[in-house]
Amino acid sequence: MINQTTCVGVILAGGQSRRMGGGDKCLLPINGKSILQRTIERVKSQVSTLLFNCNGDKARFNFIGLPLVKDIFDGWRGPLAGIHASLSWMATYQPDAEWLVSFAADTPFFPENLAKKLLQRAQGNNYEVIVAMHKNEIQPLFALWNISLLSKLEEHLHNNGNPKMQAWIKSQQHMCVEFENIYQDPFFNINTPADISAAESMSQSRYP
């Protein structure tokens, strides 16, 4: 039986935040609470172990009290490098774990049942990636990754530099799972200062 108690999670925060002017945008506040704090609170009940993927000086995130995982490949290789580093951590420190579920650090309204629903779809099939979808649009940062992908990612990153995440997912055995929300976009991500204002309004909404 696949369940959340054997699932490792990772918050991906290894990006460069160019549209926000650089820096760690996950530390920006939304109505008095940082994006990162909101994300951690939403993830923690969904997985057994939670990692934080970041680059640069990891010490700046020591305060969150999570295992900090840095990309293994040099240079910025995109979020697939964060998945690779997290699967590598999992293989070393939790070798009995089979699945890694990923969450974006700048998308604080994602579904609270995301891991559960993805794991349910993993039961009894041979898919290696199970990825969230909203209104028929794939959400590649919110996905379930099988440990069997570690060697494939290693080879791909070694040979292809900075591969596009969505294209790589589609080249694997994958399944998409629709997440509906009629009130607001559960995968609204924060990229610009204007998005902060929109997120503040969303956080005050009475809808989930």
CA–CA dist 143, 170 (Å, integer): 12
Q: State the pTM of this model.
A: 0.91
* Tokens found for residue 155: 């080879």
Q: Which residues contact 207 (CB under 8 A, 6 or more apart)?
A: 181, 183, 184
Q: What is the pLDDT of residues 102-134, one digit of tens each?
A: 999 999 999 999 999 999 999 888 899 999 999
Which one is predicted more confidently, 13 or 183?
A: 13
Confidence grade of residue 15 (pLDDT, cut at 50, 70, 90): low
Domains of the chain with bracketed CATH: 4-203 (3.90.550.10)
Which residue, 203, 179, 65, is CA-closest to 120? Answer: 179
Q: What is the pLDDT of residues 33-82, one digit of tens each?
A: 999 999 999 999 999 999 999 998 989 999 999 999 999 998 778 899 99
Q: Which residues contact 140 (CB under 8 A, 6 or more apart)?
A: 79, 131, 165, 166, 169
R_g of the chain computed on alpha carbons: 16
* 15-22 contacts, C-beta under 8 A, 24 or more apart: 15/79, 15/106, 16/76, 19/191, 19/192, 20/190, 20/191, 20/192, 20/193
β 129-134/99-104 pair status: unpaired
Which residue, 129, 117, 112, 115, is CA-closest to 165? Answer: 129
Q: Do residues 96 and 6 lie in contact, with contact meaning Cβ atoms separated by under 8 Å?
A: yes
Whether the per-residue pLDDT at 163 is higher than 90: the answer is no
Farthest CA pair distance, the chain: 47
